[in-house]
Amino acid sequence: MSEDDEVDQDSMADEWAAAMEEQAEIDGAGEDEAAANNQGAAPMELSEFDEPAAAPASQGNNPDLDVILDIPVSISMEVGRTSITIRNLLQLNQGSVIELDRLAGEPLDVLVNGTLIAHGEVVVVNEKFGIRMTDVISPSERIKKLR
């Protein structure tokens, strides 16, 4: 890790800590107000919160989305998979070949935090490997796979 990356990570950690403290202060003030307003009131049932609140009028950028846009995620490309026994795993050495479940020339899987989001093909960009997206899975399909 370079010095710049460490400085970026440190500044990002400081920003998160400040944001968390600010949120805790807001939450604390909100709890005090709620306690004052609910003195003698009947306890709320969870079913009251089942229905989502009406979305506020669009203000251009969605402030709720802005909060998460800078969160780093892990993206990986998967060539293929296979299962082998521990006996065969222990016998692997330099030069061993493992057969995968994917045919040569098939698109790779593009995973974000372990969730399939697209398929793509390998390309070379400035002497480095890259991936060209050939099929991006719609957000609604990704949500269906999570259930």
Look up residue 22 and give its DSSP letter: H
CA 113, 114, 118, 124 dihedral sign is positive
Q: Please say whether the beta carbons of 117 and 89 come within 8 A.
A: no
Whole-angstrom distance, CA of residue 11 vs CA of residue 32: 32
pLDDT of residue 69: 85
Torsion angle of the four alpha carbons 100, 101, 105, 107, in this order, in degrees rounded to the nearest 10: -110
Number of domains in the chain: 1
Report residue 145's pLDDT band, with 50, 70 and 90 as the boundaries. confident
> Strand 115-125 vs strand 108-112: parallel, antiparallel, or unpaired?
antiparallel
In-domain check, residue 134: yes
Query: pLDDT tens digit string along 25-69?
Result: 665 554 444 444 444 444 444 444 444 444 444 445 666 777 888
Residue range(s) defining the domain that contains residue 86: 68-93+100-146
Residue 123 domain-assigned (yes or no): yes
| Sequence letter at residue 103 | L
How far is the C-alpha of 111 from the C-alpha of 76, rounded, in Å?
5
Check the CA dihedral 140-123-99-93 and report its sign.
Answer: negative
CA atoms within 13 A on the CB side of 116: 14
- The answer as to whether 113 is a domain residue is yes
Instruction: Note the pLDDT tens digit of each residue in 88-126.
Output: 999 999 999 999 998 888 999 999 888 889 999 999 999
Nearest to 80 by CA among 46, 111, 35, 126: 111
133 domain-assigned: yes
Model confidence, pTM? 0.48
Residue 7 lies in a domain: no
Classify residue 55: in a domain, yes or no: no
**Mean pLDDT score, 64-78:** 86
Sheet containing strand 108-112, strands side by side: 75-78, 108-112, 115-125, 128-136
Measured in degrees and rounded to the nearest 5, phi and psi for residue 16 equal -65, -45
The CATH number assigned to the domain holding 137 equals 2.30.330.10
